[in-house]
Amino acid sequence: MARPEVEPKTPLGRRLRDIRKALGDQDRADFAARLGLNKSTLANYERGEAEPPASALSAYARLGVSLEWLVSGEGEMFANPPKAPLLEARRIEPALFRQVGRLVARIHKEEGVRLPPDAALDEQAEAYNALMARAEDPSDAAELESLLPWLESRLRKKLQAAAAEPGTGKRQA
């Protein structure tokens, strides 16, 4: 079992760790290899026990990280936010994904809308992504659970609006 990570001693160390987590909470060894660093070297930087040299900062810049943000903490984490890696990219939680799928299916049935299987999966994925985007902490199961009524309301409004405007692609079955 892996040991828990030590909290960073410096703001720079915190930002270095935040980058790794923003890029999918990669295993430190995998992320170090991606940067061309040794795992223990990266750990020292992230813990704030050593400051990274220009060559290491350059490796972060190649990932799209803003050096201004990295060094000072000011501005955006990524130099070009619209082209930044998908920060919300996380592992899909199967139980939550199924729960959202059941919710989508139930709401569509109650609203009298039948979807082909591929369209139903698209709706499920869209609803799941909306739920994750709405959450302040997508890893907090209680928060996600509390947002399900919001998601249900959002789905109903969307289907009712589509039914009221023929030609939008969501017609009554």
Q: Where are the alpha helices (DSSP H) in 73-168?
A: 94-110, 117-134, 141-146, 148-164
- Number of Cα atoms under 13 Å in the Cβ half of residue 74: 2
Looking up tokens 């985007």 gives: 133
Looking up tokens 């591929």 gives: 118
- Closest of 139, 138, 98 to residue 120, by C-alpha: 98
- Number of Cα atoms under 13 Å in the Cβ half of residue 117: 0
CA distances from 17 to 6, 31, 77, 109, 117 (A): 11, 10, 12, 45, 40
pTM equals 0.49
What are the pLDDT tens digits along the chain (173 aa)?
A: 456 777 889 999 999 999 988 877 668 888 898 899 999 999 999 999 999 999 999 999 988 899 999 999 998 888 876 656 554 445 688 899 999 999 999 999 999 999 898 999 999 998 988 888 787 777 788 889 999 999 999 999 988 888 887 765 544 44
N-to-C CA span, the chain: 53
